[in-house]
Chains A and B, each alone.
Chain A
Amino acid sequence: MLGGSWIAMYMPAILATTELACQAQIDGGDWVSLTAAQAEDLEAIMAQIIPSDDSPGAREAGVIRFADLALDSFLARMKPAVLEGLADINTRLSSARTSVRFSELNNADQIAQMHQIDRTPFFGAVQFMTIAGFLSHPKHGGNQSEIGWQHIGFNDQHAWQPPFGYYDRPYHEGPDQEGGGDE
C-alpha cells in the first residue's frame, strides 16, 4: 500500500493524532455507520480532498471519524447516497479486474478517479463532510488536535484584544489608545 513509506515519514505526528482520534470515539473503537472497508475508501477520498503533504490533512484530523458519527446522526439523510456512491466507484474499478477498491489504488489512479466523480452529488456530500470534519469543533470527532483550525490560522481562544490583524495595528498603537479605536 502506497501509504507505507509516507506513514513512516509522518509516524510520530500520525500516532499522536490517531490516539486522539481514538479518544474522541464515543463508544470506544467501532465504526457506527460504516464497515471497515467503507471507512477506508471514504477516508481515502477525503484524504484526496484535503491531502496530507507538508502539513497534516484530512486523515490526521480524523475526518473519517466525524463522517462515521455524522452519518449515524445529523447527516443520516446523506448515508444512503454516500454508501451508494462508494459502491459505484468500486464497481466501476472492479469491472475490468477482480475486486479493487478506491483505497487500494495508487495516488495517481486515485486522483484520476477523483476527476471522474468531482461533479457528482456524492462528491458534494463527501466534500461537505470533509470540510465539516476538518474544521468543526473536535467534540464532533474530527479536527483532532485542532489540525484543521491550525491549518487555516484560526484560534479558538475565547477572547481577544486589539490589535486584531496587520491592517488595524497602526490604529491601536500610541499612547492615547483606550480601546476606543479611531474616533
Chain B
Amino acid sequence: MSELKNHLAKVADKIDRKRYSKREEVDFVIIGSGAAGGTIARELSQAGHSVVVMEQGPYIKMQDFDHDEYNTIYNQDWFGGWKGEYPQTFRRHESQKAEVMDFLPPLLYGRMVGGSSVHMTANYWRFHESDFNERSILGPIAGTGLEDWPISYEEMEPYYTKVDWDVGVSGAPGPFDAYRSRGYPTPPMPIKSSGAILEAGARKLGLHPHPAPMAILSKPHNGRAGCVHCGFCMLFGCEVGAKSSTLVAMIPEAEASGNCEIRADSTVIRITTNTSGRADGVLYLDRDGNEQTQKARAIILSANGAETARLLLMSTSNQFPDGLANSSGNVGKYLMFNGLSYAYGVFDEPLNEYKSIQVTRVIHDFYETDPKRGFYGGGGIDARFFPGSPILYAQLGMPPDVPQWGKAFKDALGHNYTRTVAMNGHTTSLPLASNTISLDPTIKDVDGRPAIRVTYNDHTDDISTMRFLQDRSVELLEAAGARKIWKTPVGPSTIAAHLLGTARMGNDPRTSVVDRYHRAHDVPGLFICDGSSMVTSGRGQPTMTIQALAFRVSEHIASFARNGDL
C-alpha cells in the first residue's frame, strides 16, 4: 500500500477538482464520505449548496482496486492501508484497563473516500416496522437502554426506496418485508450454490427463503456497470463500480454538480463553535500534517459510529467539558455491533463459492423477537462463503478436526475449499449504557488523537439470540444434506464492522444526542447522521438504514436552509 499511497500523493494535486478556499465560509462541511456523508454530499450539492467533504483517508479510485488478498486483508489495505498507525484499545468492562489490539483492531472500517461502503458485503436489509418501536411492543427491558425511535417505518419508506433506486440495490420483495412503494431497480443477483443449498434446506424445514437484497447492480443502472461476479467482493473495492459504494454511486454526482469538494487526506481533529455556542467550522490536519480550518454555516458529522463519538469527545470546551453535544452524557454510549453466528458445511460436489458475491439467499423467518423464546432478539440467516478468500480460508475456514500440517491438512485444503458453505446468523444487539466508545487515556494515534477505546460485552439475550440462530443454521445444513457440519463457538463479540448507537436519535434530550432531524439537542448548527444515530441495532446490515437516514436528513437540512432555519 505504500506504493499506492505514494502514487496517490503524486497525482492528487494534478487532478482538476472543485476546491473551495479555506478562508471561504461554505454552506456545509460534511465530516466523512461514507454511506452517510457521501449521500448527504450528493443531495446538498445537487440542491445548490456549497459543500466541502472532509475525509481523513485517501481518494482511492475504482481503477486502483485489485484482487491481492494479502495486501488487502493482511496488510490492511481495506482499512485504507494505515496498518499500525491507528491503534484501538479494547476491554469488556469499564473496571478493566483497555489493551491495544495488535493484529486486528476491534473496529473494522474503511479509511478512504467512500468509507466502509467500499469494502462492505453489501447486504441491504430494510428495517421491519417493528424495528422502530420494539420498546412499545415488548415493554422496557431492565438494565438496557431500549427505546423507540422518534420516527417510524412509514416516514422512512420513501427514503429506503430512494436508496434502492439512487444508490442501486438488486432484489425482489421477500415474504416478511414491510410494505414498499416501488420495486427494485434491478433483479436479484443470480443464485449461487450457497443460495441453492439454503433454499433446499429451508424448504424442507417449512421456512421461506428469498433473494437477498444486495447493494450490487445485477445489471447496468444509473450509468454504472453490472456485476461481473469476480469473487473479490466483501473486503475488496469493486473495480467495475457495480458494488454501490458512495465512491461510485454518490460522490461522482456530488462532484458533477460543481458545488462539492472532496477534501481527502484531511483529518478533522475538532469541531469549532463560536461565542454563542454554534458549530461554525472544523480544525483539521492536512496531508502534510499542518493544522487548517474550514468555516461553514452548518456542520454535518458522518464519520461512523466510532469516529463520530471520538471527535465529539475530543471537541471539548468550557461550554462542553464532556465533549461537544454531550450535555446528556450519552455521546459514545449504547454502542451496538449486531451479533454474528457461524455454522459451516461441506458438501459432496463443488459449490465454487469463491465466484461472485457473498450472499444470494436469506431467511427472515426468525427476524422478530418471540417472547416465548425467553429472550429479546431475532435476526436473519444467510448462506455465504466466509472466510472465502484463499489464505483466510486456509487459516480459519477448515473443519476443526483437520490437523494444522501434513498430508491430512493438504488433502483437506484441496478437497474442502470448493465444497464449503457458511450459514451466518445476523442478530440484534441490545443498547447498553456500559457499551461505549471513549477516548483512551494514554494511547495516541499517529495524528496525535487519543486512540478509540472500545468497552463492549454482549447482553445475555444477544448471546442467546446468536446461539438460537446458530442452531437453526445447523438444522438448515442438515436438512440440505451436508456431508460434514461444524460451528464456531458463540461468545461475546471482540470485533465489529457495524458501529451503531453512539449519538442516538430521540425526542428526549436526556436519553439521546440528536433529535428526529439529527440536530444535536444542545448545539445549533450541528447535525449528526451515520450509524451513531441508530436507536436500535436492527438485525444486521445497517448500511441500508443509515443511507435512508442520510437521504431523509438531507431533505430536512435543505428545507431548513431555505427557511433560514439552519
Q: Which residues of A does B touch, CB under 8 Å?
A: 48-51, 53, 55, 57, 74, 111, 114, 118, 123, 127-128, 131-132, 134-137, 139-140, 148-149, 151-156, 158-162, 164-168, 170-172, 179-183
Contact = CB atoms under 8 A, between A and B. Distances in A.
Nearest to B405: A49
A105 B67 CA distance: 39
A165 B218 contact: no
Contact of A165 (B74, B352, B413): B352
Given A131-B395, A135-B394, A165-B353, A51 B229 contact: no
Interface in B172-230: 172, 187-193, 195-197, 199-200, 211, 218-219, 228-230
Interface of B: 67-70, 74-75, 172, 187-193, 195-197, 199-200, 211, 218-219, 228-231, 347, 349-356, 360, 390-391, 393-395, 404-407, 409-410, 413-414, 417-418
A159 B228 contact: yes
A137 B74 CA distance: 13
User: Main secondary structure on chain B at its contact with chain A?
Assistant: loop
A153 B418 contact: yes
A165 B187 contact: no
Contacts of B193: 164-168
Contacts of B350: 153, 165-166
B211 A149 contact: no
A159 B229 contact: yes
Contacts, number: 156
Contacts of B189: 181
Contacts of B417: 152-154
B195 A118 contact: no
B218 A135 contact: no
Contact of A154 (B190, B197, B219, B390): B390
B219 A179 contact: yes
Given A135-B390, A160-B230, A167-B351, A181 B406 contact: no
A148 to B, nearest CB: 7
Contact of B190 (A118, A127, A128, A172): A172
Nearest to A55: B414
A180 B218 contact: yes
18 contacts: A50-B405, A127-B404, A127-B405, A136-B69, A151-B410, A152-B413, A154-B417, A158-B67, A162-B192, A164-B355, A165-B351, A165-B355, A166-B350, A167-B200, A168-B195, A180-B190, A181-B188, A183-B172
